[in-house]
Chains A and B, each alone.
Chain A
Amino acid sequence: MSKFIATRAIRGAHAAIKMADDTLQDALKKMGPDTPVVFKDKIGGGTAFYLPTIWGLLGTKVQKLGELVPVMDYARGLLPPVPAENMWLPYLGETLDAGAATLYAFETIEAVRFAKGEQPEKKDGFEYNGPINDTQMRAWGIQLVDGRMPGFAALVGCAKSTEVAVKIVRELQSKGQLIFISSNRNGRNVADQLREAGVEMGYDTFIVPFGTDIVSAIYALGFATRAALSFGGVEPGDYRRILLYNKFRCFAFVLALGPITDMEYAAAAGAINYGFPAFADTVIPNILPTGITKFEHVVSMPFDDIPGKDDLEKAERLVQRCIELRGIKIKIAKVPIPVAFGPAFEGEVVRKADLACEFGGKGGMCFEWLRMKGLDEVEDGKVTVVGPDMDSFAVGSKNPLGIVVDVAGRKMQKDFEPVLERQIHHMMNGGEGISHQGQRDITWIRIHKNAVAKGLRLRHFGDILHTCLKNDFGAIVDKVQVTLYTQPDKVKELIEQARAVYKERNARMAGLIDEAVDTFYSCTLCQSFAPTHVCVINPERVGLCGAYSWLDCRAAYEIKPTGPNQPVPKGRVINEKNGEWEGVNKFVNEHSQKKIERFTIYSLMDAPMTTCGCCECVMAIIPEANGVMIVSRDDYGMTPCGMTFTTLMGTVGGGLQTPGMMGHGKTYVTSKKFIPVEGGIKRVVWLSKNLKEELAEELKAACEREGVPDLMDKVADGSQVTTVEQLLPWLEEKQHPALTMDPIIG
């Protein structure tokens, strides 16, 4: 906590209390304690919430002047002493209390002003709005809840110039923020500036001028309080839930323009109670540690130091930074490209006759590389094309292309890079006239003539990726910037860098072992078909559909915390060898309608994972051969266990736990954690032919790793063996290791 700010805020709170006391005592003397106090806006719209901040936070209904006396007594009690010069102890708690006291004082002052008929305020023939009426609060409150409106910006003071004021307001409006105006600098405030520029203010334009002094800023908090009471289902007096509701639901902040007064610091401290951070365009100390607000509490952004070619650009950046710091995510309604965009174009093929140009493919050079960067290293929405563009390429020509996507986000993790990068394929294909295949350095993109004719250029790739990444992965991605390179030298240079990264990622994936994590992830997507099935996905075993890896699940959980992928803490180990943990058992039991009591990760014979309906492969023991066979979904033939894939599925599918049989993903066969309890890959005596071919390299590597490099020559497939009677002589002839291993059935 900054001593400077704490001192000034507490000093401001003292001043606010004094001002409220004086005003109230004077009014009581002149008008008597029974004088009614009622809030109304300039068109006479009222509120059923009494003095909303006082009612909401304290649960006190104030309807008469006299009822304000205990409120002020309470507020005074909150006030900490002003820190002495040599005292270094003012902490956050005290400052927040001072802020709360200020809010009660401000609402008291406005109430007295209403009693005196001095509100809503008039100045030079301009009528300020006063507090927002209930009808409007409801209309905006709904939008706050349903997400159409993120929150509000309370503008305090006066912008550097009229142009800057207008720019700030327009930028805020474009982000869907409500704008509240109060206070002044030397008698001028943003409302004055907007009037000069001829900008309409009022409910219709989402700009509400409250008043000329900082006291009127209380109407912003009255609005926030009522929103929580109405839409948060919070009872008056439950201050904690009101504050939390606003912290998480109402993306509001204070933007102080120009030098800040003590009383404004005090008001900002009050707003921080609600989780609303304060930003300033002047030099003040930052309060960075997070806690009360979602991110930083107070951030200084001296206007003249903001990068930008002129004041307008600085203003734009200022607003953008505020939006970022408050954690506001904005959805982009439409992908801004000259061709249509949507899932309907995913299957489009660009034929030779229609080809404008292509990138990558056979003999070409094209890559995609998504990198995580720091928040200050990425300029959101920036798309740069380095080199010649599509319209300059010869018809039908093949050109080099490098797509570098820089992503930043508070919740972004390095491990999500490949997860997001894999989505590029799906996103790019949504564009009409764009056909995308492959990934990493085997990307191949073909462009339709019509698309180029309609104006499609390389920068639109960037626009697609920016929009889709922000919309679909907004939970982890805050900023996206895309650079597209077409100069052969540059592409060649970058593709080497990218390849090094791919390699590094592969190595990281290989190093991502079960022992290195304390949390697995679940997948319950299939429960609509298999009600008791729970996939538990560990780093070394993909989901049995083959589609979800541990990393995918972790990212999916970050993106949708209520979704089908939930963290499964391993908990206390029950049996290290079998891979049985308390946490896993508990999770599986709870999510299988209590049907499955225990669950091992590493065994086929002892409480193996259940099987749903969509596994890529099924393995089954062949007791006669003392081994296991694996049949894949795309193998329609007979297997040595006497059942085809479909029949096997009928036996194990539907969420059953069947020792000796289990569904799994294709790549599981090559995992280090492939049924280790039963002896791993050495147990495999039969494989579907297509599986053997598809995974040839990985299988070879796995066999070498396990010290049986020639194992695959000893494993039969469907072209050689389809019955157990044929299998046994085959295995004996090849001297398959399974024959001499411990009995698989104990």
Chain B
Amino acid sequence: MALTGIQIYKFLPKTNCKECGQPTCLAFAMKLAASQAELSACKYVSEESKKALEAASKPPIRLVAVGAGDKKIEVGNETVMFRHEKTFFHRPGLVIRVKDSAGPEKAAKTAEEVGQYKVDRVGMTFGIDGIAIQNDSGNAATFAQCVAAVSAKTTLPLVLMATNPDSISSALEKVAKAKPAIYAATKENIDKMIELAKKYACPMAVRSSDGLNELAELTDKAAKAGVEDLILDPGVRGFGDTLVTFTQMRRLALNKRFEPVGYPLISFPGEGVASPDEEAILAGQHIAKYGGIIVLDHFSPAFVYGLLTLRLNVYTDPQKPIQMKPGLYQILEPKPTSPLCVTTNFSLTYFSIAGELEAAGWPSWLLVCDTEGLSVLTAWSAGKFDADKIAKTVKGQNAAEKVSHRNVVIPGGVAVLRGELEEALPDWKIMVGPREAMAVGGFLKEHWKS
């Protein structure tokens, strides 16, 4: 049973020193209770208290970083089985695998191409998160050469894939500063891999070839040896087995607090599937169902765009919906005479009204107000979508210069704002639209005379 914030507070120094980054000890205690902070952030907590709090404050799944600097991939520290229970915190990393057998030039070229890929969505830019280099050749020197060539062409975090500790060692000599992940420690090589991971302070993946028992033994060994930044490969592949095993591991970590599997996962959706398309579908499954580092063998912009979009969806905080950037959006190709409609910046609200306008074939101007991501009625009742806000947005976005008319359609749900809006926008005629987005086509057909 996790401790409540108040219970945790009792163990804290109660000095409100703020050094942990929280304004008060109580606020810090609340964060700890929600597994959103680490006890180590408090320098003054007594040893005695620390012991008592350790269990409650240690995240059930460790946060592990691959790479260093801005682009590092942080995965793990998840606290729930289902995103509605709280949220999924750390987006899995999408990594593209290259092989040293292709030669260093080709591998570096692919890495460079992949590194340049980027795409915008809801005002954010996304791309590939890392490159995995596989020691296909089996040769340590070839591997090290390839790794060096790749790292010269990209700043993305790396995953070094070799079972031969010598290969890993020679690659690490070149790129250890960038904190690449070692893949993988196995039953056969774990002692040497532990040494390397310790020596270079790099995260290490652990792969089992015989189920979770073996995996737990290996991680236990690594942790006892002081290597705690672990990433797990339980050795299963394909749709059914990964769904089952990943689910079981997440449950073991969260519900049973079984520490040996309390680390993020690494998966290979391209292994054991029939086609690149299937790889993409399985990668999608791993995004929704507990993947951490997802290694892809094929790079197709369309697939990656789909996967990045899915990841954005799944890792959206249910309490903080995706927001649109406020502004004046063009639907189809509006003319100055086209309708001007107002809505909020809750993404679903925006998508439904934009979708309906498009579907009904109405080129139009859609003015999105900043309502902190709340839908029409919620924003209105929270005072974030009022006449003042709408009027300011109309003026701030220079709507009057974009349209030749002076009519603005407000959502039917906020019909009450009409009077105040008329005051705030004296040059404009305020039209009250329908309550449901679905009816907007019919509404414009009936009431919009350009």
Q: Do chains A and B touch in the complex (CB under 8 A)?
A: yes
Interface residues of A (CB under 8 A from B): 343-349, 429, 435, 529, 531, 605, 613-614, 620-624, 633-634, 641-643, 650-651, 653-654, 656, 658-661, 724-725, 745
Is residue B322 within 8 Å, beta carbon to beta carbon, of the partner chain? no
Cβ contact within 8 Å between B24 and A724: yes
Which residues of B are found within 8 Å of A656, using beta-carbon distances?
A: 34
- The contact sample of 30 A-B pairs, CB cut-off 8 A, is A344-B412, A345-B432, A346-B416, A347-B417, A347-B418, A348-B419, A429-B416, A605-B6, A614-B382, A620-B26, A621-B6, A621-B26, A622-B26, A623-B25, A623-B26, A641-B24, A641-B27, A642-B22, A642-B24, A642-B27, A643-B27, A651-B30, A651-B31, A654-B319, A656-B34, A659-B6, A660-B5, A660-B6, A724-B16, A745-B9
Cβ contact within 8 Å between A347 and B416: yes
Cβ contact within 8 Å between A614 and B412: no
Is residue B14 within 8 Å, beta carbon to beta carbon, of the partner chain? yes
Cβ contact within 8 Å between A654 and B86: yes
Is residue B383 within 8 Å, beta carbon to beta carbon, of the partner chain? yes
Question: Once the chains are docked, how many angstroms separate the CA of A276 from the CA of B414?
Answer: 46
Cβ contact within 8 Å between B23 and A349: no
- Distance in Å: Cβ of A634 to nearest Cβ of chain B: 6
Name the contact of A347 in the complex, choosing from B26, B33, B419 (C-beta under 8 A).
B419
Judged by DSSP, the binding face of A is: loop
Is residue B445 within 8 Å, beta carbon to beta carbon, of the partner chain? no
In the A-B complex, the 7 residue pairs with the smallest Cβ-Cβ separation, listed nearest first, are: A642-B23, A349-B419, A347-B418, A344-B432, A347-B416, A642-B24, A346-B415
Cβ contact within 8 Å between B34 and A348: no
- Distance in Å: Cβ of B25 to nearest Cβ of chain A: 8
Could you list 13 further interchain pairs (A-B, Cβ under 8 angstroms) beyond the known A634-B383, A653-B319?
A344-B412, A348-B419, A429-B416, A529-B318, A613-B319, A624-B14, A641-B23, A642-B23, A642-B27, A659-B5, A661-B30, A724-B24, A745-B6
Tell me the nearest residue of chain A to B28, going by C-beta.
Answer: A642
Which residue, of A345, A435, A651, A745, has the highest number of chain B Cβ atoms within 10 A? Answer: A651
Which residues of B are found within 8 Å of A660, using beta-carbon distances?
A: 4-6, 9, 26
Question: Once the chains are docked, how many angstroms separate the CA of A651 from the CA of B86?
Answer: 11
Which residues of A are found within 8 Å of B415, using beta-carbon distances?
A: 343-347
Which residues of B are found within 8 Å of A634, using beta-carbon distances?
A: 383
Tell me the nearest residue of chain B to A350, going by C-beta.
Answer: B419
Which residues of A are found within 8 Å of B84, using beta-carbon distances?
A: 531
Proximity bits, B314-332, A CB within 8 Å = 1, else 0? 0000110000000000000
Question: Once the chains are docked, how many angstroms separate the CA of A429 from the CA of B417?
Answer: 13
Interface residues of B in 413-450 (CB under 8 A from A): 414-423, 432, 435
Question: Once the chains are docked, how many angstroms separate the CA of A575 from the CA of B416?
Answer: 46
- Distance in Å: Cβ of B86 to nearest Cβ of chain A: 7
- Distance in Å: Cβ of A432 to nearest Cβ of chain B: 11
Cβ contact within 8 Å between A641 and B26: yes
Which residues of A are found within 8 Å of B5, using beta-carbon distances?
A: 658-661
Which residues of A are found within 8 Å of B392, using beta-carbon distances?
A: none
Proximity bits, B52-63, A CB within 8 Å = 1, else 0? 000000000000
For chains A and B in complex, what number of residue pairs have CB atoms within 8 angstroms? 92
Is residue B177 within 8 Å, beta carbon to beta carbon, of the partner chain? no
Question: Once the chains are docked, how many angstroms separate the CA of A619 from the CA of B23?
Answer: 17
Is residue B378 within 8 Å, beta carbon to beta carbon, of the partner chain? yes
- Distance in Å: Cβ of A463 to nearest Cβ of chain B: 21
Tell me the nearest residue of chain B to A532, going by C-beta.
Answer: B85
Which residues of B are found within 8 Å of A531, using beta-carbon distances?
A: 84-85
Is residue B381 within 8 Å, beta carbon to beta carbon, of the partner chain? yes
Cβ contact within 8 Å between B24 and A349: no
Cβ contact within 8 Å between A643 and B419: no
- Distance in Å: Cβ of B381 to nearest Cβ of chain A: 7
Beyond A346-B416, A621-B26, A659-B5, whether A650 also contacts B14 by CB under 8 A is: no
Is residue B71 within 8 Å, beta carbon to beta carbon, of the partner chain? no
Which residues of A are found within 8 Å of B423, using beta-carbon distances?
A: 349
Question: Once the chains are docked, how many angstroms separate the CA of A624 from the CA of B5?
Answer: 15
Question: Once the chains are docked, how many angstroms separate the CA of A229 from the CA of B213?
Answer: 60
Beyond A344-B415, A614-B382, A745-B9, whether A658 also contacts B30 by CB under 8 A is: yes
Which residues of A are found within 8 Å of B421, using beta-carbon distances?
A: 347
Tell me the nearest residue of chain A to B434, going by C-beta.
Answer: A344
Which residues of B are found within 8 Å of A344, using beta-carbon distances?
A: 412, 415, 432
Is residue B174 within 8 Å, beta carbon to beta carbon, of the partner chain? no
Name the contact of B10 in the complex, choosing from A349, A642, A745 (C-beta under 8 A).
A745
Question: Once the chains are docked, how many angstroms separate the CA of A653 from the CA of B319?
Answer: 8
- Distance in Å: Cβ of B28 to nearest Cβ of chain A: 10
Cβ contact within 8 Å between B378 and A614: yes
Which residue, of A347, A429, A650, has the highest number of chain B Cβ atoms within 10 A? Answer: A347
Cβ contact within 8 Å between B382 and A633: yes
Question: Once the chains are docked, how many angstroms separate the CA of A346 from the CA of B419?
Answer: 9
Question: Once the chains are docked, how many angstroms separate the CA of A605 from the CA of B4?
Answer: 10
Tell me the nearest residue of chain A to B374, going by C-beta.
Answer: A613
Name the contact of B16 in the complex, choosing from A349, A429, A624, A651 (C-beta under 8 A).
A624
Name the contact of A643 in the complex, choosing from B23, B378, B412, B418 (C-beta under 8 A).
B23
Cβ contact within 8 Å between B418 and A659: no
Which residues of A are found within 8 Å of B383, using beta-carbon distances?
A: 633-634
Which residues of A are found within 8 Å of B6, using beta-carbon distances?
A: 605, 621, 659-660, 745
Question: Once the chains are docked, how many angstroms separate the CA of A548 from the CA of B9?
Answer: 34
- Distance in Å: Cβ of B309 to nearest Cβ of chain A: 23
Which residues of A are found within 8 Å of B319, using beta-carbon distances?
A: 529, 613, 650, 653-654
Beyond A347-B414, A349-B418, whether A658 also contacts B9 by CB under 8 A is: no
Tell me the nearest residue of chain B to A644, going by C-beta.
Answer: B23
Cβ contact within 8 Å between B30 and A348: no
Question: Once the chains are docked, how many angstroms separate the CA of A535 from the CA of B432?
Answer: 33
